[in-house]
Amino acid sequence: MDNNLEKIQVQLQKDTNLSYEELKTKYLSTNGLLTLAMKAIASIPNDQKATYGQNVNQLKSSVTELLDQKKNQSLVYSPNNRIDPTAPFDVNTPKNDRPEIWDIKGTKHPLHKEVEKLVEIFQRMGFDVMESKQMDDDYHMFESLNFPVGHPARDMYDTFWTEDGFVLPAHTSTMQNRALKQFEPPIRVVLPGRVFRHEATDASHGHTFYQMEGIYVDKGISLANMKATIKTFLEAYLETDLEVRIQPSFFPFTEPDCEFVISCPFCNKTGCSTCGHSGWIELMGCGMIHPNVLTQGGIDPEVYSGFAWGFGVDRLTMIKLAINDIRYLRDSNLNFLRQF
- Contact between 135 and other proteins by CB under 8 A: the answer reads yes
Contact 248, 257 (CB under 8 A): yes
- Contact between 242 and other proteins by CB under 8 A: the answer reads no
CA atoms within 13 A on the CB side of 310: 22
Site track 145-164 with other proteins (rule: CB under 8 A), x = hit: ----xxxxx-xx---xxxxx
User: Shortest distance, CB of residue 31 to other proteins, whole angstroms?
Assistant: 28
- Contact between 303 and other proteins by CB under 8 A: the answer reads no
- Contact between 104 and other proteins by CB under 8 A: the answer reads yes
- Contact between 208 and other proteins by CB under 8 A: the answer reads yes
- Contact between 315 and other proteins by CB under 8 A: the answer reads no
Measured from the CB atom, the residue of 6 and 199 that comes closer to other proteins is 199
Measured from the CB atom, the residue of 150 and 298 that comes closer to other proteins is 150
* d(C-alpha 139, C-alpha 168), whole Å: 12
Chain residues 15-74 in contact with other proteins, contact rule CB under 8 A: 72
Name the one range near other proteins by CB under 8 A: 7-15, 45-53, 57-65, 218-226.
218-226
Residues near other proteins (CB under 8 A), total: 112
CA atoms within 13 A on the CB side of 334: 3
Selected from 18, 40, 67, 119, the binder of other proteins by CB under 8 A is: 119
Count of beta carbons in the 10 Å neighbourhood of residue 191: 26
- Contact between 133 and other proteins by CB under 8 A: the answer reads yes
